[in-house]
Amino acid sequence: MQEFVQELKQEVFDLLENVSLDTNKLSRSSRSLEVVRNSLFRLREYFNGQPFASRNEEIHYFKNLAPSFYASLFYYLKEYNIEFEKQHGSRERLESLLIHELETTAKFYEYHQEFYRYYYEEDTGMDERIFVRDRSENAMRDEVDVIMGPDFCVGCYWTARLLANEQLKVYLKRELDLLRNPPPVPSVVDGGEDIKWTDSQTDLVELIYGLYLRGSFNKGNTDLKMIVGFFERSLNVKISNYPIVWQEIKRRKKGGTKYLDEMKDRLIQKIEE
């Protein structure tokens, strides 16, 4: 079970990284959502044919394995709706939507503070009540049950929302800041063409973190957010949710510095020519 889920997570990560090259933000959100939906279909299909061997295995699945997939679903559903609004709605409507979604994430956190402490403190006292499929504990009778279907259990849902909201807060605050303080349009120097970043966003985040940790700007006295902003202005790109991307880089099974390693290999090859 563990091996299948980890392989599926890595596959989803690789597919989402490829989708991140799409320069159309609405298309990128739509394609990302499709990747996540397909992964959930495969996850359910696998576990429908592989009954849990024990109650502990069921708890482990709903507490530690399934939530990240549903978190991605909840996140990309929100992101797609906002990107659609950016293309088809007014500025005022978009700002109102961003503020509303930020307030919604805050209210959800406030309402479920006890569970969040339970989860982050790695408590186990309520696991057999909230991380199993028990209709007497999990009756919510709303869209959540429809989305999660037979896989639904309240602890899995709360955990997925927790993970999704952490990612959403970064995205929503960034979008609101960009809406209120749009970056200046970069000018073309000396009549030349704009220089565009054409590798993946993950590669760019890896490079930025490398330069930041190396202390390459202002003798190491520049914070990460300023460096990210510098690259966005210089390359005319949007670096979405870079803390989340960094966490995904850290979770790579091998080749954590994939982009930098490839860069190093090409430099050595050129030097030795």
Per-position DSSP letters for 17-77, written without gaps between them = HHHTT-S-HHHHHHHHHHHHHHHHHHHHHHHHSS--SSHHHHHHIIIIIHHHHHHHHHHHH
Over the stretch 214-231, which tens digit does the pLDDT of each residue have?
A: 888 888 888 888 888 888
Structure tokens at 76: 């990309």
The closest alpha carbon to 58, from 158, 150, 144, 147, belongs to 150
Q: What angle do CA 228, 231, 234 make, to 5 degrees?
A: 150
- In which residue are the tokens 């957010």 written? 225
Name the residue ranges covered by the structural domains of the chain. Answer: 2-180, 192-272
pTM over 0.85: no
Give the least confident one: 77-91, 196-210, 241-255: 241-255
Over the stretch 23-52, which tens digit does the pLDDT of each residue have?
A: 788 899 999 999 999 999 898 888 877 778
- The whole-chain average pLDDT of the chain stands at 83
Per-position DSSP letters for 105-171, written without gaps between them = HHHHHHHTHHHHHHHHTT--TTHHHHSS--HHHH---SHHHHHHGGG--HHHHHHHHHHHHHHHHHH
The more confidently predicted of residues 102 and 201 is 102
The closest alpha carbon to 70, from 151, 169, 171, belongs to 151
